[in-house]
Amino acid sequence: MRNLINILDLTTEEIEELIAVANDIIANPAKYSEKCRGKKLATLFFEPSTRTRLSFESAMYELGGNVIGFSAAQNSSAAKGESVADTAKTISCYADIIAMRHPKEGAPLVAAMNSTIPVINAGDGGHNHPTQTLTDLLTINREKGRFNNLTVGLCGDLKFGRTVHSLITALSRYSGIKFVLISPEELKLPSYVKKDILQKNNIEYVQTTSLEEYMPELDILYMTRVQRERFFNEEDYLRLKDSYILTMDKLATAKSDLTIMHPLPRVNEISVDIDNDPRACYFKQVLYGKFIRMALILKLLEVE
Ligand code: CP
3-state secondary structure of 6: coil
Task: Tell me: pLDDT of 39 over 90.
Answer: yes
- Ligand 1 neighbourhood includes 142 CB (under 6 angstroms): no
The finding on whether 128 has its CB within 6 A of some atom of ligand 1 is no
pLDDT at 235: 86
CA distance 137 to 132: 9
Res 243: pLDDT: 85
Ligand 1 atom with least separation from CA of 52:
8
Domain 7-128+288-300 falls in which CATH fold? Rossmann fold (3.40.50)
Domain coordinates in residue numbering, the chain: 7-128+288-300, 130-285
Q: Which residues contact 195 (CB under 8 A, 6 or more apart)?
A: none
What residue spans of 123-204 are helical by DSSP H?
130-144, 162-171, 191-193
Q: Is the pLDDT of residue 232 over 80?
A: no
Distance 202 CA to ligand 1 centre (A): 30
Give the pLDDT band of residue 293 (cuts 50, 70, 90).
very high
Identify the residue whose C-alpha is closest to ligand 1 atom 4.
51
Question: What pLDDT does residue 228 have?
Answer: 82
* Class of the CATH-defined domain 130-285: alpha beta
Q: Is 55 in the pocket of ligand 1 (CB under 6 A)?
A: no
pLDDT of 25-36, one tens digit each? 999 999 999 999
pTM of this structure: 0.95
Any ligand 1 atom below 6 A from CB of 265:
yes
Rounded-to-integer distance, Cα 188 and Cα 182, Å: 8
Pocket test for ligand 1, best of 51, 128, 134 (most atoms within 8 A of CB): 51
Cα(263) to centroid(ligand 1), Å: 7
* pLDDT for position 242: 81
For residue 149, what pLDDT is reported? 97
The answer to whether domain 7-128+288-300 and domain 130-285 are alike in fold is yes
In the β-sheet with 66-70, what is the strand arrangement from edge to edge?
66-70, 40-45, 97-102, 119-124
